[in-house]
């Protein structure tokens, strides 16, 4: 049995009931993106997107019609709208309290220790967009070599450095030092290396980004690994779980590379009879277009995935399934530059599952519970499996 999960990072499917408390009442990443920059998504529509609640259909965008797969939405119960919160809940970890954020920057108790670890001081130390921060602080960084430290509305400590000034391994070492500091009362979900390159106003070297996550409690990934089956993390997936629970990790440069490597791994698994889970994150929707409030770019990214979807479906081996989900919203027409509190998308291809309405699931953890049941892994954590609805 081979399951493949593809996360369309930030492709939200409409506000959650508590969206107003996050300032996101009315947000809808998919609908608003397609309204601002219409693009044809026939393959997603046919799989089941046209049947998902609140999704606006139209001949030029999401053509109405019957679903060839199963469809629904996912509700996040953990109090957050970030990558770590969503992905941890996918695999059975529901947070009672949100990860800590630092809207005023990090306190001296953190920064003094970080400065001592790097020996170079720091620049910025406040919430900033990734594009703006290298434009505004990059020139001074080139002169001084001091790392640019910044955060966002998410629980992140981000370190930007020019690749010609700070070698990647040095930047990663600084991130590991920050990860050790940012525990306990100052714990953040992720420390992120944000290298950049080139001349002013500079270019982000996204392919060299690296996340250093808090270590999660035991997840469904660990349970599947314990059965002796494969657990393959592709893209930033292994980083999100602090590299826990995987038998294989595959780096990607962008969405196209992530899709290509997912297809290759699926085909190899089908050939050699591999059983287990392939788990991929496609981050470009979020990092390149959502935060930058670029609906045209976001739509083009959706169209590129839609074009690849038939190949992904064709690569599913007999008895297996392809599960397409999303972890939060990032409405590119919304105010600000942060994520939006939305339902996750849920689309499933499996032979015999055409037209199955999975409804609005009570928690993201239903995904992990489904993985555990399908692969025979022992799991007594949160989540209700929908596997029997697909068989």
Indicate the annotated binding residues for Mn(2+): 9, 286, 291, 327-328, 339
DSSP state of 22: G
User: Do you find a cis peptide bond into 231, omega within 30 degrees of 0?
Assistant: no
DSSP state of 365: H
Q: Are 2 and 274 in contact (CB under 8 A)?
A: yes
Report strand pairing: 156-162 vs 230-234: unpaired
> Could you tell me the end-to-end alpha-carbon distance of the chain, in angstroms, rounded to an integer?
13
- Crossing angle for the helix pair 295-314 and 255-272, to the nearest 10 degrees: 10
Among the listed residues 145, 175, 128, 151, the one whose alpha carbon sits nearest the alpha carbon of residue 337? 128
Half-sphere exposure of 262 (CA within 13 A, CB side): 36
Q: CB-based contacts of 207: which residues, under 8 Å, 6+ apart?
A: 253, 254
Q: Are 47 and 67 in contact (CB under 8 A)?
A: yes
Q: Are 312 and 263 in contact (CB under 8 A)?
A: yes
**Residues annotated as binding site?**
9, 286, 291, 327-328, 339
Report strand pairing: 2-8 vs 276-282: parallel
**Other C-beta atoms lying within 10 Å of the C-beta of residue 176:** 14
Q: Are 43 and 324 in contact (CB under 8 A)?
A: no
């Amino acid at each position: 049995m081979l399951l493949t999960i593809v996360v369309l990072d930030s492709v939200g499917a409409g506000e959650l009931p508590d969206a107003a408390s996050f300032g996101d009442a009315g947000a809808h990443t998919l609908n608003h993106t397609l309204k601002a920059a219409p693009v044809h998504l026939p393959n997603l529509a046919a799989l089941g997107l046209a049947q998902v609640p609140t999704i606006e259909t139209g001949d030029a965008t999401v053509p109405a019609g019957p679903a060839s797969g199963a469809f629904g939405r996912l509700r996040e119960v953990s109090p957050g709208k970030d990558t770590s919160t969503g992905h941890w809940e996918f695999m059975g970890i529901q947070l009672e309290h949100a990860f800590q954020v630092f809207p005023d920057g990090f306190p001296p108790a953190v920064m003094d220790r970080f400065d001592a670890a790097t020996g170079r001081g720091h620049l910025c130390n406040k919430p900033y967009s990734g594009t703006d921060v290298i434009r505004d602080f990059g020139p001074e960084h080139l002169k001084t070599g001091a790392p640019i430290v910044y955060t966002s509305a998410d629980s992140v400590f981000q370190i930007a450095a020019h690749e010609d000034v700070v070698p990647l391994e040095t930047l990663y070492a600084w991130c590991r030092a920050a990860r050790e500091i940012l525990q306990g009362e100052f714990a953040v979900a992720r420390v992120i290396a944000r290298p950049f390159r080139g001349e002013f106003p500079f270019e982000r070297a996204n392919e060299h980004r690296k996340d250093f996550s808090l270590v999660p409690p035991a997840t469904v990934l660990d349970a599947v690994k314990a059965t002796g089956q494969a657990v393959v993390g592709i893209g930033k997936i292994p980083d999100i779980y602090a590299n826990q629970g995987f038998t294989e990790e595959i780096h990607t440069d962008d969405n196209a590379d992530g899709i290509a490597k997912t297809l290759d791994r699926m085909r190899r698994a089908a050939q050699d009879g591999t059983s287990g889970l392939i788990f991929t994150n496609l981050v470009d929707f979020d990092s390149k277009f959502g935060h930058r409030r670029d609906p045209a770019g976001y739509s083009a990214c959706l169209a590129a995935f839609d074009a690849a979807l038939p190949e992904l479906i064709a690569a599913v081996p007999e008895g297996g399934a392809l599960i397409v989900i999303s972890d939060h919203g990032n409405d590119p027409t919304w105010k600000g530059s942060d994520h939006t509190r939305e339902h996750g998308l849920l689309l499933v291809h499996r032979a015999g599952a055409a037209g199955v309405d999975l409804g609005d699931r009570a928690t993201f953890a239903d995904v992990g519970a489904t993985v555990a049941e399908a692969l025979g892994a022992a799991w007594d954590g949160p989540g209700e499996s929908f596997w029997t609805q697909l068989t």
